[in-house]
Amino acid sequence: MHAETASPTAAVHLPGADQPVWRDKLSQLLESTGEGIFGIDMDGRCTFINRAGAEQLGYAPADVLGHNMHELAHHSHADGGHYPEHLCPIFNAFRKALPCRIDTELFWRKNGSAFPVEYSSYPIVDGGVVQGAVVTFVDISARRQAEDALRQAHAVLEQRVSERTQALSEALQQLRELSAYTHTVREEERTRIAREVHDELGSLLVALKMDVGWLDKRLGEQPQRSSDEAQAMRDTMRSKCQNMSRLIEAAVDNVGRIITDLRPSILDHQGLWAALDWQAHEFVQSAELALDWQMEIAEAAPLPETSAIAVFRIFQEMLSNVGRHARASQVAITIRATAEEISISVQDNGCGAEPRAFEAANAYGVMGMRERARHLGGTLEITSQIGHGSTFHLRIQLQKS
């Protein structure tokens, strides 16, 4: 090594009158920076160090010169384990011509304490020959403390978010269970009311109709009287009886419709698939729509009563949506059921809507369908485009018994 390279620079000793001006400027530059800067020769010995670097290591500048810097300040890992010199990135800077910038290691002070550093090492080349390396370093203890504090704050925030998320999840689950319970109670109440209306009001109306019919018949059997006034009274009473009979028939029909709306008897007596078939054809007849009907249920698995009711109600709401909003002339209904899955699709050729309309806060029908589907472990997909109609598609994966 050249003696000039190995000797201390003006960063330690002020230059004499015979030293070049550039060396004086270099010395001033090294002393003015707050970063630690030192140079090493090919043997790893310190050739120069500025005052800031020496002070960070706990030495006077003169005490560092000529010492192996790895053995002096970079000899151990954070856990105290030995750090072999041949693995040191600083030495690789000149021995393998590999510049580096590291911020994950420690430097050790004279008193045995360590501090985290960010350092850079670059080879010193003279005439195409590597003569050593120059190393700059800075104490990043404050940065590490800030990062640790940030990590702790982040961990606390994550914990709080996790706790809030868990609480919200539990609340949502409770809400869904309450919704499912409400649907069950509602169906039970509908069933009770439908039975009472059928048994009580229906029976009374039928009895009343029979009595009115009997009265009308008896009036017709009365012998003809000569009095025109009596005949007119008899004709008036018969007309009233016939009118009452028509009103009672209308009331019986309305009671039957109300009972069907509350709880279609076909659902109890013939099952879900017959109920869906009946509901679809009743709807298109009432709404005067053309129907494209497909049903494939050859391998369908029987559903529990509560699940069958939920599927039927979702299907009713699909058709109701077509009737209220679509302004369609045709509806295509496809129902497929296997032992593993139920798929129900209702597609209309109506006016359609923007997708966000089905996500609106007041889209209660859609929310109800989705909640019922979710409770069954299924999904409800809705696709719609203005001018091209809408499609509602219910999919339910069935659990194998």
Distance CA 366, CA 382 (A): 9
The type of residue at 322 is V
- Residue located via tokens 């290691």: 105
264 by Cβ neighbours in 10 Å (0-12 / 13-18 / 19+) ranks as buried
Alpha-carbon distance of 195 to 268, in angstroms, equals 12
Q: Which two tokens stand for residue 327?
A: 């302004």
Mean pLDDT (10-residue bins), the chain, 401 residues: 33 40 63 86 91 94 93 92 89 78 93 94 84 92 92 92 84 70 66 65 72 71 62 74 77 71 76 91 92 89 85 90 91 92 94 88 84 89 92 88 55
What is the predicted pLDDT for the residue at 10? 31
H/E segment holding residue 337: strand 330-337
Distance CA 117, CA 107 (A): 7
Secondary structure class of 105 (helix, strand, coil): strand
Which residue, 123, 89, 86, 94, is CA-closest to 104? 89
Q: From CA 346, how far away is CA 350, in angstroms rounded? A: 12
What pLDDT was estimated at residue 180?
A: 65
Structure tokens at 208: 């009343």
Q: Which of 172, 168, 164 is nearest to 375 (CA)?
A: 172
CA quadruple 266, 268, 271, 273: dihedral, nearest 10:
50
**What 3-state class would DSSP assign to 209?**
helix
What letter does residue 201 receive in the DSSP assignment? Answer: I
Q: Cα dihedral angle (336, 339, 341, 345), rounded to 10 degrees? A: 10
Three-point CA angle 91, 92, 96, nearest 5°: 135
Helix spans in 10-123 (H): 21-32, 51-57, 61-64, 69-73, 89-95
DSSP string covering 306-328: HHHHHHHHHHHHHHHHIIIII--
What pLDDT is attached to residue 5?
34
d(CA 139, CA 116): 6
Q: Are 99 and 122 in contact (CB under 8 A)?
A: yes
Which residue is listed with tokens 């005949």?
231
